[in-house]
Structure 1
């Protein structure tokens, strides 16, 4: 995972924790005893990571959560060979570690997170950036069309929904891993809303096709909206219900899961090759 400093206002200690895997002293963090309603975003990139409703007091000296926002946190073995490190799934910033089987909550899970890795957004305010995931055939074309859409901050292509860890393109192409070719759309809520993004998704692919997209046939090419919060799910459900009054809709709605980045040569494919999408284009639907 590529790590990148996005927040240019980070101080030296924040950089030490976020990018050199440091740890703040226990019982000193701003959010250890903080339980206001809202969400916690990555201090570096601003992507939503945790909801306040999943926060609990563990007594261990650091903020504790027993769940994460779908697809927001990436896990990997720690260099100590014993623990599991957790990172921001978008920018790769170090958050802390995750522990299992401690019995603090019914979920039996504890994300032990450094306060300096987080920024709190009170309930009712929107984060500067958010993310939603779309699968609609070959991810080259879907990404290309979203990349040029107003309000989209960034895009990445990868694989979501399957049962194989860190799959390769060749594995996904067999149709046996359960993954879909997926585009991560990172957007600025102040410039574009979820309704506009979901409607645009339906305008750039054939949502009536059940077995793939255009000439690309297979499970990995099916149409799916992967949501990361209740608002996205509700918007997707409402728009699909609207479309079904006039059209056949094969698109399904699923909760986002681990997003495995595709190989580098797939990223920004049409920008690199100077080619054009072969089955994705915008059409009037609404």
Structure 2
């Protein structure tokens, strides 16, 4: 006897396992340990297995460090393709793609904010925006932030992660090294603290200018910090470099940075310094 007179498909829609996994999981770039994206984000992009510090967006950096963001500084300044530069694609297209991908208009965000109730100006680079490269607008936002701090007697904090100068803007990019350094020289005359956090990677013109001028220089563990990459240096000198070459641990031994601080402890570390200064 046939008990089934009708046949209906269930109304539950399922996804293939591979598709579900891609959406829910991520892999540590260093040790390849899988982690839920939600857990990865709540851990501030720090691997729970090997403690690798993966890049953070500028918005995430500011949210992590600041109690309150009072207002942005010169976020209205937008990058332009001054030279009509073209390599594999127009520079103007690169800017549009980077803005859509990172939900930001440039490789730096500068804000008037507070950390542990101490007001300050905070600048954060975003490596996801064309490698955190410094162009004319990045330099201008930074300089205007320094000037705002000078006018209001505020400390200035910069989280630097960058591949260097933005080649698509030519000499306009190169001159930002001098402009930012000159602004910081004026800032130092006010006897106000300039704090730098070096995140991986911090290379090229950024590391050779604004990232090397801090009164207090902090680095994240395992950060790659230098001017030229180790592979280029090996080819130039014809020698094999040490395994820890240009890491934050090696640079601390040489006196280049004052402390290596885990990302989870960074806000507390900065708060202690700011309270002593205030």
| Richer in strand (by share) | 1
| Richer in helix (by share) | 2
In terms of Rg, which structure is larger?
A: 2
Larger relative contact order (CA 8 Å, sep ≥ 6): 1
Fold match, TM over 0.5?
no
**TM-score normalised by the chain length of structure 1:** 0.30
